[in-house]
Structure 1
Amino acid sequence: MTPTRDTVRLIATDMDRTLLSGEPRSISARTRTALDAAAAAGIRVLAVSGRQPYSQATFVQGTALAGLGIGCNGAVVADLGSGEILSQEILEPDAQTALTFGLRNVFPHVKVASFRNGGNTVRAQFGYLEAVAGNQAPWPPDQREAPLDEVLRVGSVKLVAKVAGVPVDEVYAAAVELAVPGCQPTMSGASWIEVARAGVTKASALARVAANWGIDAAAVVAVGDNVNDVEMLRWAGCGVAVANATPEALAAADVVTVSNEQDAVARLIEDILAA
């Protein structure tokens, strides 16, 4: 059942493979119009992504999503217009070090990168930086390669780990099996796993933001496609998976809609406003 404009107060959407479409990826004109229409109807819209705020801002400028946003899988809340970091959750150095060396025992060639300072500072192990370079952000990050001990020395809002030639789901399974205290590994559909502080998810940040706005979970619609969206889809009053979602996201959702390439978020908003 599609929620109605009388029952929905907040629409929270993932970005990659959910909101963004086309190549290069962007927010379509139809989706921009729908986001504006939702905001005009008094429904808040919120970008909730594994991306860092500087990367989110690259896409949302000039849209109704350019205000408050949740990045780094819930570890960072920021103003996507100004770049101000409003809150951040830190993965402790001891925890990220234990996970990294645990993964190295399984995958000796694993490479990691640490995102700090709300995601605006990146310290990548030698040989990894190409995975995070080249973003045309409105405020560019401070990023450089560094020795592993420097990468792990300072806590992260997000630690990413990648093993060349190994499917990301195998790396994720190994990280989960390690069960390192203090760590919350997940996947977003990229070729690397992403690790936050234990208990930090898109759902935990969304619940906090919604509460600050006086909005109950029952009045929230969340849209996503991947493992890192599962908790958010379960928490929201209505969890919506796009047709191209992973099995985990599809199982967590209340509703399945069309794919991101068919303007899933726009269609959802149009249906809500029409209901």
Structure 2
Amino acid sequence: MTINTKTLYVSDLDGTLLGADSRLSAGSARLLNHLITEHGALFTVATARTPATVVPLMQQVEATLPFIVIGGAALWNVQQNAYEQARPIKPDTVLTIADAFERNSLHPFIYRQHGSLLHTHHFGPMSDQESRFVAQRQNLPLKRFFLDDAHYRTSPDPALLIFSMNKYRVLKGIVDEVMPQVQCEVMLYHDIFDPDDGYLEICAPGTTKALAIKRLAKRLGVERVVVFGDNRNDIAMMRAATWSVAVDNAFDEVKAAAHEITGPNTADAVPHWILNDLLQR
């Protein structure tokens, strides 16, 4: 096998590499393994997901590079099953943000690295939406939930992510209140099914998928970065890439930002594009 050291290929997961069932198809897994083992392709994923769901989704892929997880807040070393280059939020920033939530009678989820595990802390009653969120993730091997934790703000473990789900206008009010007081990366977005609902993700300054890709590319010494995406939160990393590819099911804004449009996520489009690219070089 000759390792292709010139190009780094990075794909978003949901809506891009994963199919309509939010799983990696057997065809995509086989083709990615062929690309990695036979062509030496440098391939990884960049996602807002945590290793708790990324690892089982990608378990059929013979990955050689770390996964970019939690929106760029850390890398996940596949060989060592461990976090790398985690970017924690300062403790005083965590307190300031938690105070803002509590003034609005809310409490966020605080994701903290505890060795190779992700401890997710929450205090107080949860909404039905939050309860469903926890129930769907409670038995994952790389994640532990600490609910009704009165010390959720001050755990000694480093905080990598502060996350909340609520009405968009409520979360927007918290963002407007807290942003003048802290330095951090904030992503506030509407639910794709109900635009009145929203999701808020807060990470340390300099924590984005785009910057994480740049750091990984520099570490690998590649000459070219190709990024694949479908959603609005992929646009920044697509703009930071040498070449960007939107899947056919992407939002119109994403297609407009991309250099090229390929097939849909339901047709194993990402690995097929990479294979064609490698064969042309």
Measured against the shorter chain, the TM-score band is 0.7 to 0.9
Aligned residue for 2:244, secondary structure, equals: strand
Hey, what's the Cα distance between the residues in 2 that align with 1:239 and 1:54?
A: 27
Match of 1:114 among 110, 114, 134: 110
Tell me which residue corresponds to 1:257.
262
Q: C-alpha displacement at 1:237, in angstroms?
A: 0.4
Q: C-alpha displacement at 1:74, in angstroms?
A: 0.5
Aligned residue for 1:157, secondary structure, equals: strand
Does the 8 Å CA contact 2:46/2:69 hold for their aligned counterparts? yes
> How big is each residue's C-alpha offset from its partner over 1:72-121, in whole Å with a ceiling of 9 and x where there is no partner?
1001111135421122001123323433444566xx35441011116611
Matches within 5 A, 1:103-252: 108=104, 110-117=106-113, 120-126=118-124, 127=126, 128=130, 130-135=132-137, 139-147=141-149, 150-154=151-155, 155-163=158-166, 166-167=167-168, 170=169, 173-174=172-173, 177-178=176-177, 179-180=179-180, 181-186=182-187, 192-216=199-223, 219-252=224-257
Q: C-alpha displacement at 1:177, in angstroms?
A: 4.1
Aligned residue for 2:153, secondary structure, equals: helix
Hey, what's the Cα distance between the residues in 2 that align with 1:238 and 1:76?
A: 23
Question: What TM-score, normalized to structure 2?
Answer: 0.79
Hey, what's the Cα distance between the residues in 1 that align with 2:249 and 2:134?
A: 25
Aligned residue for 2:162, secondary structure, equals: strand
Does the 8 Å CA contact 2:4/2:41 hold for their aligned counterparts? no
The unaligned stretches of length 5 or more in structure 2 are: 192-197
1:34 pairs with 2:31: yes
Question: What TM-score, normalized to structure 1?
Answer: 0.81
Hey, what's the Cα distance between the residues in 1 that align with 2:234 and 2:64?
A: 21
Structure 1 residues 69 and 136: alpha-carbon distance in aligned structure 2, compared to 1, 3 A threshold: farther
Match of 1:45 among 43, 47, 54: 43
Q: Which amino acid aligns with 1:28?
A: S
Tell me which residue corresponds to 1:74.
72
Aligned residue for 1:125, secondary structure, equals: coil
What is the count of residue pairs matched by the alignment? Answer: 261
Aligned residue for 1:192, secondary structure, equals: strand
Larger radius of gyration: 2
RMSD: 3.0
Hey, what's the Cα distance between the residues in 1 that align with 2:91 and 2:250?
A: 33
Aligned residue for 2:15, secondary structure, equals: coil
Does the 8 Å CA contact 1:83/1:139 hold for their aligned counterparts? no
Structure 1 residues 204 and 110: alpha-carbon distance in aligned structure 2, compared to 1, 3 A threshold: same
Q: C-alpha displacement at 1:189, in angstroms?
A: 7.6
